Amino acid sequence: MTPVTRGALGQIWKLSGNGTPWAVKELLFEQEEPDVGVEYALLDAARTLGIRAPRLMPDRTGAHVVRLPEGSWVKLYDWVDGTAADPSDPEIQSWCGRTLALLHKAGEGASGTPNGWYERCNPASDWAELLGKVERAGLPWAGELGRFVATTAVDLARHVSPSAPDDVVTSHLDMRPQNVLVDPEGPVLLDWDNAGPVSAERELARAVYVWSGGNDFDPDAARRVVRAYRDAGGRAVVKGLDPFSMLFATDLNYVYVQAGCAVDPTVTAEQRAFGSREAVAKLRGLPELAAVSRLTEALEGEW
């Protein structure tokens, strides 16, 4: 077992034996057995549609998540050897749009309600309480968090709202370059843990923003993602700022959770350090409303 990388929710290990490598995902914060039914079903549907993804392997009893004697829940996947996806590559941009369209078609007819992580954000009182904890802990980025709480958090929160029920599909929910590896046969989509119901237009809007360069987006890249999505049968449309609600909500919630972890006495020192690093990184890479507005203008001719 070799540690490979650490994400917000888990540690990835490479398990090697008998000439076959596997990816083990250790879920660091799950107390109860996680439900992986949606993830497994969507993975199965995605592979049927030609989307390359690692298999989620069952144990001898057919279970897809297992608890170790030490307490952690783990999942076992195929190991994927590949290089990080280049979001500036036109072929990768087209792959992103096409893949998202296929996922949305596979996930049509979803009846569930999107998780609050994608639909809501914390009120000002919660942010004030968190800021107080960070200040009392003497963390060097307390001032940066304070400026964010007083300005950007308020501005972005105004554009976070529940999505319309008739737009909900079952999808991946975290299609970012960090979750794509490219091997000799092409891109492989990883990290399906968050699979579930989501607004199709909001997932598309977030993907277009992320894959076209964020605040410093390339208009041609954004249009390329959208055109590939539409050509593959995707039905979602991104007009105005409302579709970016998921982008704003997830980034606000990520700062809140990681900053909270940084001052949580019940977690390990390593987890607090991780939370601190992640909170600072996200504070310095949040979406800007002016940039998102320009992005919507660049896409006006695509609908």
Tell me: the pLDDT tens digits for 143-159?
Answer: 999 999 999 999 999 99
| Contacts by residues 74-77 (CB-CB < 8 Å, ≥ 24 positions apart) | 74/24, 74/25, 74/26, 74/27, 75/24, 75/25, 75/27, 75/36, 76/15, 76/22, 76/23, 76/24, 76/25, 77/22, 77/23, 77/24, 77/25
- Whether the CB-CB separation of 169 and 129 falls below 8 Å is answered with no
Q: Give the mean pLDDT of the chain.
A: 95
For residues 173-191, give the mean pLDDT: 96
Residue 175 has what pLDDT?
95
pLDDT band at 245 (very low <50, low <70, confident <90, very high): very high
For residues 225-233, give the mean pLDDT: 97
- Identify which of 204, 117, 207 has the alpha carbon closest to the alpha carbon of residue 162: 117
- Whether the CB-CB separation of 27 and 9 falls below 8 Å is answered with yes
Residue for token digits 């960070």?
A: 134
Residue 111, number of CB atoms within 10 A of its CB: 8
Report the C-alpha gap between 79 and 190 in whole angstroms: 10
| Percent of the chain scoring above 70 in pLDDT | 100
pLDDT digits (tens, 9 = 90+) for 30-71: 889 999 999 999 999 999 999 999 999 999 999 999 999 988
What are the chain's domains?
2-80 (3.30.200.20), 84-302 (3.90.1200)
For residues 166-174, give the mean pLDDT: 94
The two three-digit tokens of residue 45, written as one number: 């549907």
**Is the confidence at residue 247, as pLDDT, over 90?**
yes
- Whether the CB-CB separation of 124 and 154 falls below 8 Å is answered with yes
Report the C-alpha gap between 32 and 161 in whole angstroms: 29
Report the C-alpha gap between 8 and 271 in whole angstroms: 10
> pTM score, two decimals?
0.94
Residue 96 has what pLDDT?
98
Report the C-alpha gap between 12 and 76 in whole angstroms: 10
For residues 103-124, give the mean pLDDT: 92
